[in-house]
Amino acid sequence: MAEESPKSIYDFTVKDIGGNDMSLSEYSGKVLLIVNVASKCGLTHSNYKELNVLYEKYKNQGFEILAFPCNQFAGQEPGSNEEIKDTVCTIFKAEFPIFDKIDVNGKNAAPERLLRDMLLLHHLLRL
């Protein structure tokens, strides 16, 4: 029997930065900002600063940032998950969830091309 296609963003299971499975159903009912991040991008400092401000301001109102590192944008996230976690949590002081580094393009793209599918699904549900 074929696996059923996700009907909601909350039907996806992803890996956290430690490699553990995490169901996005844990975020059901929250407003989500799903973002690709890269530690070596020229905009990294300002991006994390702004993400931290948003998170601090709205986290108690049901807002959550889900950060997915990706090295497919000019090779700007070359580190291991441990290096990424250290950089993001220690240097940039991020308190929002950081997930496993993913590919968003090509043969190794995250299952169901995770981020694209979630955006497409969101768009279709709004039609």
Structure-token pair, residue 112: 């169901």
Distance of CA 103 to the CA centre of its chain: 11
Domains of the chain: 9-126 (3.40.30.10)
Q: What is the pLDDT of residues 34-45, one digit of tens each?
A: 888 888 888 778
Q: Are 97 and 16 spatial neighbours (Cβ–Cβ below 8 Å)? A: yes
Active site includes 70?
no
pLDDT at 115 over 80: no
pLDDT at 127: 43
Q: Are 77 and 109 spatial neighbours (Cβ–Cβ below 8 Å)? A: no
Q: What is the pLDDT of residues 7-60, one digit of tens each?
A: 678 888 889 999 999 999 999 999 988 888 888 888 778 888 999 999 999 999
For residue 42, report the phi and psi dihedrals to the nearest 5 degrees. Answer: -65, -20
Catalytic residue among 35, 41, 104, 109: 41
Instruction: Give the predicted TM-score (pTM) of the model.
Output: 0.80
